[in-house]
Every structure is written in structure tokens, then in C-alpha cells.
Amino acid sequence: MNSNSSADLVMFPGQGSQRAGMAGHLLERHPAARQVFTAADAALGIPLSALCTTGTAEELAATDITQPAILATSLATWQVLREAGCAPDAVAGHSLGEYAALVAAGVLKPESALRLVQVRGRLMAEVARQRPGAMAAVLGLAAEQVIQICDQAGQTGLVEVANFNEPLQTVLSGEAEAVEAAGRAALAAGAEKVVALKVGAPFHCSLMNAIEGEFAAELDAHTFADPVLPVISSVTGDYLRDGEHARELLRRQLSGPVRWVDVVRRAQQLPVETYTEVGPGRVLSGLVRRTDPDARVRSSGDERRLGSLVDVFAPAAPVPA
């Protein structure tokens, strides 16, 4: 850990954190970030650098573009902070963000993570084309109540919990009619509101079982090393054991729920004092604050915030004699 900072969990965001121009400041001001994007463009054969600086929100919304775009932006931000001296006690990622966490922990090479995410996005988009679904966030109900509602609404079709994001925010995923029925039942049970999510596919539910075999074959084509620092998996809410465990969890992640509340609870046991969100947006920062109100949270999604973190991690200048 850098001597200038407290116990730190670095966390990487998932899909939904993208925004137009999200990497403009990185490519304009940080050579380390430009190197990451140059390598990403070459590895994937798509102009991620352009998409993440001048691409429209509509262009970034396609799942097969969104996922590598967020990953590349997160990895570029991480490289800037790592070169500044960021050395966390542990890392974690929310769904897609787990790939960036595995790169930070030395489990995956950046090129492997980018290629895996490109395939992941393509396969998920194909599921959405063949079996369109929906996702919705339920606010104001305990997760146990939402699970029961899913069980009851399952009579109308497939609906499952996709994300345990915070104690009173749980995300539904599945077939559109069943998700809508579960949303109505949640409101009747006292939910503050139910928000339909604009997503490219019904993530983290059994509809994704259709692509598990093909993605497992892709996972087998890449090398997974043992982590060089602790990784808290959003699949289990617990620590990653080794490289083979990471490979298995990425397969399970397709259709399993994101257990972000468990990630934060595990981090509290370290105990983590500071949560640093590395990548676009501040979604995870909000989730952490509402799970652990005493947490110190900081983000890096724009130049002002990134510059402040660089100043935190950079070694102090020597005092003149």
C-alpha cells in the first residue's frame, strides 16, 4: 500500500457507467492511457479510441461495443493511477468490471481481458436478439422480499434477481412480461419505485445459459494466472482462490447474480477504509455509500477527480536542502 493512502479497495465499474466522451481527458492528457487505447484498438480491430472520445451515446449503447469500451477506459485509468503509485490492498469489479480487476491483480493480460469481453458482449447481444428481455431496478425493498416476488411472478415467465446492488436496491432480469409483473408486485409490496433499465440484454439471468458453452471455450483459450493481490469476486462476494477459480467464476458470472452488497461487506472485514472507483462514472461510489455510510469513497471518471487521485498517490517531492 502506498504510504500516503489508507487501506484501499480499488473497484471497477460495469455496464451502465458509459457516457459519450468518457475517455477524452485520458487520451488528451495522459500518455499511459494512450498506450492502453492504442493496444486495445489493435487487439480488437475496432476504433475504441474514437468511440470513447467522439462516439455518440447511441454508438456506445450497443452491448458488443459498450463492454470493451468501458473495460478499455477502466484499464487506461488504472494505468495512470498505477504509474502514480496506486497500490491497493484488494480489488473488485461489478460484473464486467471484474475483468479489469483481474488485470489489476495479474490474473489476466490486458489483451486477453479485452478479447474475452468483446466475445462476451457479442454473445450477450445475440441472446438479446433471439430472446429479447428486460431489466428493472427495485428500490426500497429488502432483497429477501424481491426474491419472493420473483418466485411468485415466475408463473408468468422467467424473472430472476440479477444484481444485489445495495441493501435496498435489487435488479430484476428476465423475460419482459415477467419482469413487468414482478415490478408491479414490488410496488404493491411497498417498493419506493421500480425503474426500467435501458440495457442491451437481460444480463445475469438464466437466459444467458444459452451462451455458456461457447464462452467457456473462449475462456479456455486464455491463460489465467494466480492473483498477486486479493480479488473479491462479485459472483461469490468472497475472495478468489486462484487462476482456475477466476476462469470458472467468469463462466458462472454470465447467468449468476452480481453480489455487490456481499463484496462491500467482505471489504468491511479487511477493514477497507477507502473505496476508489477506477473507470468511467460514479455508480459504484453511490452503491458503496448506501451500503456503508461511513465509507470514504472517491472516483476517477473525469480529469478533476483523476488529477486529485494522482496527487494523492504520487510520491511527495523531496524537500530542498
Question: Could you give the CA distance from residue 318 to residue 215 in angstroms, rounded to a whole number?
Answer: 51
Q: Say how many C-beta atoms besides its own lie within 10 A of residue 316's C-beta.
A: 7
Separation between Cα atoms, residue 82 and residue 88, nearest integer Å = 9
Catalytic residue among 30, 94, 204, 245: 204
Q: Is 73 exposed, middle or buried (0-12, 13-18, 19+ CB in 10 A)?
A: buried
Cα 116 versus chain centre, distance: 14
204 catalytic, yes or no? yes
Q: Which of 49, 95, 173, 233 is catalytic?
A: 95
Give the span between the Cα atoms of 170 and 145, in whole angstroms. 10
Q: Which residues are catalytic?
A: 95, 204
